[in-house]
Structure formats: structure tokens, C-alpha cells
Amino acid sequence: MNKAKHAPLFHISKRKSMPWYKNWAVRGIAILLAVAVAAIVTMIMTGDNPGRIFLTMIDGAFGTPRRRWMTAQEVAILLCVSLALTPAFRMRFWNLGGEGQILMGSLACAACMILLGDKIPNPALIAIMVVTSVLAGAIWAVIPALFKAKWNTNETLFTLMMNYVALQLVAFYIIVWEVPRGSGKIGIINQNTEAGWLPVIGNQRYLLNILVVLVLTVILYIYLKRSKQGYEISVVGESERTARYVGIKVERVIIRTLFLSGAVCGIAGLLLVGGTNHTITTTLAGGRGFTAVMVAWLAKFNPIGMIFSSLLLVFFKQGAGEISTAIGLNQSYGDIMMGIVLFFIIGSEFFVNYKINFRGRSGKEAA
């Protein structure tokens, strides 16, 4: 009786499992709560109608054909980076170097366009751009992988620091290639000749990027779910000791997986420079390397699920930007909106993985 009297009102325990539909129901409720809180904050700050706010968000992401294509392009690039990080994450290698790997792929692509643009035929130039961008991103990811495999260094800090090195390399070469001199920027590369520009399909500037990423999504899904290498990644992620026991060469798996991860980031850099922007800046990655961590995590590292989580985050980003413009607020307001959304989405994972057990009236726990 004394024990019952002094027992805590509730305690938290880990869930054994939850049906997939309940998982998504929890996340759906979190998104609705995030939208409601964002609307309340907007009303307090602006006194505007919440209905108008929601319609403005939809208009900002899908209101015109151009906006729909831009949203699809943003989803494609974010999805590409998320796909790149997923193999490493499934292996419990926390690759936070996506930003740097994108920048290195972008730098390699821009270097080919600038140095070879007027020297070789365009098909050969594009082929070289593809190879160098993939290799640049892959090498940038393999460096921390080698140190992890050989000396068990901390991959989180290592990959983060590699981002800053990549950023400074891009900043250095922007000054080397700047046009005009003293401007501190490169401008549109090969604007007159369009040498190295990826082909436009169906008069849609972004269609090639979208198609490339869709193909990558299917390939990565099959690779992770159906291939021997995908199985080895899962086993290493569960337990390196078990992997070694069953004969898997853990060091080789780490290096191979990070090569793949960096290579796909390099493709993202190629698509940004050769496919859409046709220039390079230090802000080209746009924080996608970090946002992609959230995308991959929300989808539980499932490439198909990442299509929807990418769309969700891009929708809120585009919608928040449109609200800040339509209502006359600065871009920081869009960041506030995104922060609210991410807070609720992250918080929802607690209820997916844990449950709260309340004490019953008789002193027993109520599930």
C-alpha cells in the first residue's frame, strides 16, 4: 500500500512496436498541430486570417506552373542528398558532410565547364563533368571513412569539419575564376555558348534533374533492400561484432558505402551547377546537407518514404517564404515557421518510440 501511495503518477517506457498506420497517424497529428501553432503565431504577429495564411502557403508552393516546377526541383535535389546520406546512416555512420560533398561535386563540375568549355565537344564535356563530380564527392566522403575504418575516429566531427574545408576551397576558386575581376563572384558560366549545360527535356528546365533523382531513388531502394551490399550495410549497422563474426569485412563496407554516399552528393552538385544554376557560390548547397538528415530520419531511411518527407519540408519552406512576402515580413519569419514545423515533427518521434504509462486508481499502471 505504501508503495502504491508513493509510486509516480506516470512513467515512460519504450514501445516494442507500433503498426505503420499508427506511426503515420502520430506524424499527421504533429503536422496538423504545427500548422495550428504556426497559424496562431502568425495571427498574433500580423492579425491576419489563418485561412488566408494556409491558402498563401499552398499558393507559394503550387500556385503557378513555374512554382510547381520549382517545388518539384527543390524536392528532387533535397531527395538526392537524402538518398546520398541514407546508406551511411543505415550503417550507423553519421555522415554530416553532405554540404561539403555537394560543394566538391559542384566545384569539380564548375572547373570542367570553365577550363574545358571551349576546348572539347559538349557531349564529351558533359561526360567528363559527370565523372569528375561523382569522384569529387566520393573522395570527399571516403577520407573520413578511411580514418573511421583504420583508426575509429569520430565520423560526426570529421565530416562536419570537411564541410568547412570544402567551403573555403570553393571560396578560393571563386576568387580565382571571378568575372569580372574584383566582383567576388563567377556569374553565369559559359552564358553565350552554354557549354556544359545539361540538356533541357521537353522545354522544362528542371525535368532532367527530377528524372535523374527518380531513377536514383529506385536504384537506391533496390540496392538497400535487395542486394548483398545492402544486407551487409544493415548487419554492420546492427553490430560490427556480429558482422565480423559472419565474415563481413567491416572496413571494406564502410569505405564502399561512403564512396557511394559521396558519389550521390556529387551528382547533386552536378545537377545544381550543370542543370539549373550554371554557376557556383559558397551557398549553393543551401543547407540541404543538414535538412537531408531530417528527411532521411523522418522516412526511417526508406528511399520511397523520403519522397514524401522531402515534399513536406519543401512545401513548408516554399509556403513560409510566400507568407513572408505576401504579408510583408522578412525572410526570418519563414525560418520561424520552419522551426515550429520541425519542432513538432521531431517531437512526434517520442510518441512513436515511447509510451506514457499512468498509474491506475488502485496503484497499478494503466497502459
Pick the CATH number of 66-314 from 3.30.230, 1.10.3470, 1.10.1740, 1.10.357: 1.10.3470
Q: In the prediction, which pLDDT does 5 show?
A: 55
Residue 124 has pLDDT above 60, yes or no: yes
Residue 179: partners with Cβ closer than 8 Å, 6 or more residues away: 185, 186, 187
The arithmetic mean of pLDDT across residues 178-193, rounded, is 88
- Tell me the per-residue pLDDT of 80-112, one tens digit each, with 9 for 90 and over: 999 999 999 999 999 999 999 999 999 999 999
C-alpha to C-alpha distance for 144 and 288, rounded to whole angstroms: 20
Task: Find the mean pLDDT for residues 248-259.
Answer: 96
The pLDDT tens digits for 3-18 are 555 667 777 877 777 7
Share of the chain above pLDDT 70, in %: 95
73: pLDDT strictly greater than 70? yes
What's the length of the chain? Answer: 367
What is the domain partition of the chain in residue ranges? 6-48+327-367, 66-314
Most confident of 239-243, 330-334, 337-341: 239-243
The DSSP H or E segment spanning 248 is: none
